Amino acid sequence: MMKRLAIMALLLQLPALAARAETKAGSCQLKEDEGFGKDVFRVQVGEAIRGTCGFYIQEFFKKKIINANIQIANASAKAMHCQYYAAFFDKAGTLIGCAGQGTFGGKGLAAGASTQLGSCLIPLPIGLHEAAVQYKIAFYESDQEIGKGASAARAPTAFRRKWTDATGSHSVEAELLDATGESVRLKKEDGQIVSVPLDKLSAADRRYVRYKELLHMPVPGAMGETDEGSCQLKEGDAFGKDAFTVQVGQKIKGTCKLYTMDFMGRKIINAGVAIVNTCDKAMHCQYYAAFFDKDGTLIGCAGQGTFGGKGLASGESTQLYCFIPLPAGVHEQAVQYKIAFYESDKEIGKAELEEGSRRHEKVSRAPQHDNPGPQDAQGPASQAAQERHPTGRQTRWFSIGPARKELGEVAKSRGHGLRSSQNHLAANYERILANSQPGSTVVLLFALDRADQNIPQEYQDLLPMPWAQIEAALKKGETVERAGKARGREIVLLAAPTEEKLQDLIHATTLLPP
């Protein structure tokens, strides 16, 4: 069943935004698949940007997830932007998990171009995937970035936060104006604007700047709880003033502060949660939040979890950022919320649970307003940067192809090393397979405007999909993101029509491990 949001009339009063909203909801039966088979549950959305959602269960980097990615194509004559959200529920309507993603970059999706929004991956405890029997989708499309336009014309709320350098010895209160791949521009309280290289900031600040890269795939624990109710979201700031507050968790205590704000020129719902591990051992958690209008129609959703295989250390606290961009006027329609929160001392996507250790129960909690909590607490170091081999050495990625600098930046920001080769020569494939261990991550990078973009025949079994399909997609202007396994290695394929687009894809994808 498809229903247009009631806010369409409101949106039509904003000709500068030219936004269109569409929702769909229904029953589903999710099955195990790798994305290419007959068992993928498909839903069509969109008008100017036409999307095909594919829902299925799969193993991703040894973790069990719901894959809710969407393939989009711009059928209009001009560049377009879109924002996509998908949420899943059990038979009682309780939220199980959700995800969202939009087109990236100010230029949007070019006329005639297509791509996959490949970050909609939903980690869940073993056994919950099959309980997802209902879905809701929200899809927004516009000729401007979703959340900009009319809302950006208003004076934005100053969003100042504490920024700390990499040594931890210097800090400043400042507003984030914009960010590039290498630096940020900050506006200090006295109005002075400064540019700071990303590598000079603390790990926590780098995670904040690159919030789109925060959707790594940590899998949560065995204990689960949900919360839902009515809400009234107000304009807030970095400190959660006027926030609608909800408490979750047992061993990992979470304070969800829900409010609207302007972030980097875009109007969003901030659904972040400040968490602290109150038990005597390391813990993992996964958090999901979804928002609905008065009729129960999905407006937007987000999810986030702890980073790295070690989880959140005993006594440590951090902030999970969950940002939901929406067209102007839609934020005020969010009057209902649903939250799912899972916690455990294990990464649940990797191992079966002991019988009786799994709980997914509905709890009744009284939401509070302006309840103080650890809103911006950060641990002593990035969780991802602490991920190491048992020997104490850094983990290392291996890659073949162009854009090595960009991949190296991403690897370094997550605490990994990178060993790479520029050209797709048989000798380079032989060298990487000889130097990597089973279970290692191998990233295959392709750009059609490079002369050597043709994998040797004897190594084409490493590709997660046939080369002919990859090449055909690139010639149509599409980007390709795929993950798979071959020769005992975890393979990530990233391909784009040009090296410039490949660089953007490397920073935007979430197929790379945390």
Residues facing residue 161 across a β-bridge: 174
pLDDT for position 343: 87
Spell out a b/e string for 293-326, using b for 16 or more CB atoms within 10 Å of the CB, else e.
beeebbbbbbbbbbbbbebbbeebbbbbbbbbbb
What's the CA gap between 255 and 455, in Å, rounded?
A: 49
* Range scoring the smallest mean pLDDT among 51-65, 171-185, 380-394: 380-394
The maximal CA–CA distance of the chain, rounded, in angstroms, is 63
What's the CA gap between 90 and 130, in Å, rounded?
A: 9
Question: For the purposes of burial, counting CB atoms within 10 Å of the CB of 433, is it exposed (0-12), middle (13-18) or buried (19 or more)?
Answer: middle
Rounded to 5°, angle at Cα 322 from 28 and 293: 55
Q: Which residue has the higher pLDDT, 214 or 176?
A: 176
> pLDDT per residue over 70-118, tens digit each?
999 999 999 999 999 999 998 888 899 999 998 866 788 999 988 888 8
Q: How confident is the model at residue 278 (pLDDT cuts 50, 70, 90)?
A: very high
Give all domains of the chain, ordered by start, each with its CATH number.
2-142 (2.60.40), 213-381 (2.60.210), 388-508 (3.30.379)
> pLDDT per residue over 33-57, tens digit each?
776 667 899 999 998 999 999 999 9
What's the CA gap between 310 and 321, in Å, rounded?
A: 19
pLDDT for position 35: 61
Q: Which of 242, 228, 226, 230 is nearest to 333 (CA)?
A: 230
Is residue 364 over pLDDT 50?
no
Average pLDDT, the chain: 78
pLDDT for position 183: 80
What's the CA gap between 120 and 443, in Å, rounded?
A: 20
Is residue 378 over pLDDT 50?
no
Residue 37 CB partners (closer than 8 Å, separation 6+) = none
* Range scoring the smallest mean pLDDT among 172-181, 260-269, 405-414, 505-514: 172-181
Residues facing residue 183 across a β-bridge: 197
pLDDT for position 180: 64
> pLDDT per residue over 443-492, tens digit each?
999 988 775 567 888 888 899 998 888 888 888 989 999 999 998 899 99
Q: How many residues does the chain have?
A: 514
Q: Which residue has the higher pLDDT, 228 or 290?
A: 290
Residue 191 CB partners (closer than 8 Å, separation 6+) = none
> Which residue is associated with the tokens 């993992």?
284
% of the chain surpassing 90 pLDDT: 27
Q: Which residue has the higher pLDDT, 127 or 25?
A: 25
pLDDT for position 394: 45
Q: Are 424 and 431 in contact (CB under 8 A)?
A: no
What's the CA gap between 316 and 297, in Å, rounded?
A: 37
